[in-house]
A and B are shown apart, each in its own frame.
Chain A
Amino acid sequence: MSGRRVAEAAAARGVAVSAGADFDPEGEDRGALRLSVSRVERESIERGVALLAEAVRETRARASVLESAPVV
């Protein structure tokens, strides 16, 4: 699964996360995200992660339609 697509889908829902690709020496789109709690409001963590989960599900669904293959 593309970490970058998840980060974009999350951004569209008002949730900022860093995509694994930003940390990859080759810029490869890793299936990874970095989540930091150093700036997030305590009260918005639950909602933020729920929206992130939505972004993950949306990305997965779209990826499986586009690629019609199971994604890791």
Chain B
Amino acid sequence: MTLDRASREPLSEQLFAAFAARIETGLFPAGARLPTTREVAGALAVNRGSVQAAYRRLRDEGFASTRVGSGTVVRADARRPKRFDASELVSRRASAIPAAAPPPVSAPMIADFSRLTPDERFFPLERFTQTLTEAWSRRPELWQYAPPLGLDELRVEISRRLAESGVTRSPEEILVTSGAQQGLDLVFRTFTDARDPVAMESPSYPGALALARFAGVEIVPMPMTPDGPDVTGLRGRRVKVVYVMPERQNPTGVTATEEKRREILEAAIDAGALVIEDGYEEPESGLTPLAARAPEQVVWLGTLSKDLVPGFRIGWLAAPRPVVERLALVKRTADFQTPLPLQAAIASFLRAGLDREARRARASEVETRRKEMSGARGRHLPDLSWRGGRAARSSG
């Protein structure tokens, strides 16, 4: 408790306010005995009369009561005229993050079309469990702090996976992150300051939009067309980061065409921007990823959240070494490391091809649902226009 002796506010008022705030916040709970006025006067080197005046006001305003023999005690029904309200302290950055969506379902759930995560019924659970146990049993080093880029064996597997998509990155050019979401957060923190221009598809993934708002960057929208994002808004200006999902864009489901991919890269090169290619699902189109076309310009974001186990929060980014090392510094500052046992598990999942197995197990069911959906849309909502594959979108 500190008092401002230079203040024009009387010491008794200051003492009252300090005690009242401690009672309001619960630091001094109901029933707690306050120190005697003599103790307070001694500890704070103030006139005892000031302390007595403060205690009188605590009693008058219902914060405390005095009984002979038990001293001054916080009342159970202590008035809380202006309870401490943490929401008044929330930063502008945090206030920019929108509330959770979609709207809560009030009736019994009949159909959930809102989530874009794998159905756990298609997880090969037995093989998962077996692989998990093998991956982290008898390996005490997994309970330690990690090498800065993540577990070597996982980065080797990721490097192999990327090569299959045409992206050449050595394990030293890969950083393991806590989901692709952290990868994008690291890019924003490392390469942008507040009000820096960042180009994003419009509409785009809400998780990415929330990060951009949190970072306080200026979003330069690239309206989605049936071929991919329209990049004309980037012409003739400098932009720091261009964030795109060329493969089955979320939410439109659009896969950027060959021409569009070239346009995106040319616009980014002219704008001097780092490109973030979000490969949230493994590429299926057979078109060359941006990261394979302009390796110096592109950061690849990867995850298994959409294909395997969202709850594991394992993702990665692949970029030129100086970029990865810079991001790794920021990652270390943010959370030191992504849990090693989970990294080991994902390395084994990838080695065993469990993600592809899980995907294959789901594929025919998802295809059936898609057909069912398209039929139902035609029957019930024929006047709305629909787009996309897995993530369909209506407008109208």
Q: Which residues of A contact B (CB under 8 A)?
A: 1, 4, 7-8, 11-27, 30-42, 44-53, 56, 72
Contact = CB atoms under 8 A, between A and B. Distances in A.
Contact of A56 (B221, B370, B384, B395): B384
B102 A7 contact: yes
Nearest to A17: B113
A49 B380 contact: yes
A49 B375 CA distance: 10
30 contacts: A14-B108, A14-B109, A15-B105, A15-B111, A17-B113, A19-B103, A20-B203, A22-B98, A23-B206, A24-B209, A25-B200, A25-B203, A25-B204, A30-B203, A32-B395, A34-B391, A35-B391, A37-B372, A38-B119, A38-B366, A38-B390, A41-B111, A42-B372, A45-B369, A46-B372, A46-B379, A49-B373, A49-B380, A51-B110, A52-B381
A51 B111 contact: yes
Contact of A34 (B221, B368, B373, B392): B392
Nearest to A42: B369
Kindly state the interface size class of chain B when it binds its partner.
Answer: 35 or more
B312 interface: no
A37 B390 contact: yes
Given A7-B103, A49-B377, A1 B366 contact: no
Nearest to B306: A38
Q: What DSSP secondary structure best describes chain A's contact surface?
A: mixed
A26 B98 CA distance: 11
B36 interface: no
B335 interface: no
B115 interface: yes
Contacts of A13: 107, 110
B202 interface: yes
Q: Tell me which of B114, B250, B377 has the highest count of chain A C-beta atoms within 10 A of its own C-beta.
A: B114
A3 B377 CA distance: 16
Contacts of B194: none
B369 A37 contact: yes
B265 to A, nearest CB: 21
Nearest to B367: A37
Contacts of B384: 56
A36 B365 CA distance: 13
B21 to A, nearest CB: 37
Given A38-B390, A39-B119, A47-B110, A30 B366 contact: no
Contacts of A56: 381, 384
B98 to A, nearest CB: 7
Contacts of A20: 203, 251, 393, 395
B124 interface: no
A14 B109 CA distance: 4
Contacts of B395: 20, 30-32
